[in-house]
Amino acid sequence: MKYVIALLVVVAFASLLLLRNNPTDNNTPITGLPWQIDTQPDGSTQVFGITLGQTTLGEVIQQHGDDLKLAIIAAPQESGSLEAYYSHFSAGPVTGKLLLVLDVAVEDMASMRARAFQEGGMRRYRLHPDDLPLAQRAPVSVINFLPSIKLDEEIAQSRFGTPDEMVQLGTQQKHLLYPDKGLEIILNAEGKDMLQYLPPGAFNAHRNRLLQSLPDNE
């Protein structure tokens, strides 16, 4: 047990060093890292090999494997959203959890929700097998990556650059906004940090919703 704990500490420390510094070993470029956000000619962005708004769930599975959970997340009386979740995801040597929100038409979402089976908590529904082909054709609209290591402003800015804006939400959350990258970094004082990737064209609406959640809309 002591060996396992020590090994986990070493892995976490190595990941932290990678976030702070550029890798220099053997000059082999590392790909698939969280800060490697590529802008495509059409203005869309790609990260982890996933082009937002274009790469389908089926293509994601071909790249990253089928060890994922697929479910509709919905409150009662809502159609909800279709989400795919990798509990163990490697972004290069940086590990964490990956959650993908899929773009499904409203009418299709309602039909899928009506046929789905409730499982786990009150908000999780498993798809009917007949709806799996439609789910695999759905493109990824939002990527959420929760790294295993704890982030801070220094680490975030060393890898992603200076944010265009920082929004403090209460005493626990700080949001670093990078609209050109379609990236929001959420630093949680006591919870999990998260990197949220959105299409750059949708970022302004996302920012407005964030600002509206501030006390007194300040």
DSSP state of 56: B
Tell me the one-letter amino acid at 208. Answer: N
- Strands 124-126, 94-102: parallel, antiparallel or unpaired by DSSP? unpaired
CA atoms of 174 and 104, how far apart (whole Å): 30
- Asked if the model's pLDDT at residue 19 lies above 80, the reply is no
Domain that holds residue 62: 2-217
The first and second tokens of residue 159, run together, are 């890898």
Phi, psi of 149 (to 5 degrees): -90, 160
Count of structural domains, the chain: 1
Q: What is the pLDDT of residues 80-122, one digit of tens each?
A: 999 999 999 999 889 999 999 999 999 999 999 999 998 866 7
Residue 2 CB neighbours (<10 A): 6
* Per-chain mean pLDDT for the chain: 86
- Asked if the model's pLDDT at residue 172 lies above 90, the reply is no
CA atoms of 17 and 149, how far apart (whole Å): 11
Nearest to 97 by CA among 151, 46, 148: 148
* Helix 153-160 with 2-20: angle, nearest 10 deg: 50
Q: What is the pLDDT of residues 180-203, one digit of tens each?
A: 999 999 999 888 999 999 999 999
The secondary structure element, H or E, covering residue 23 is none
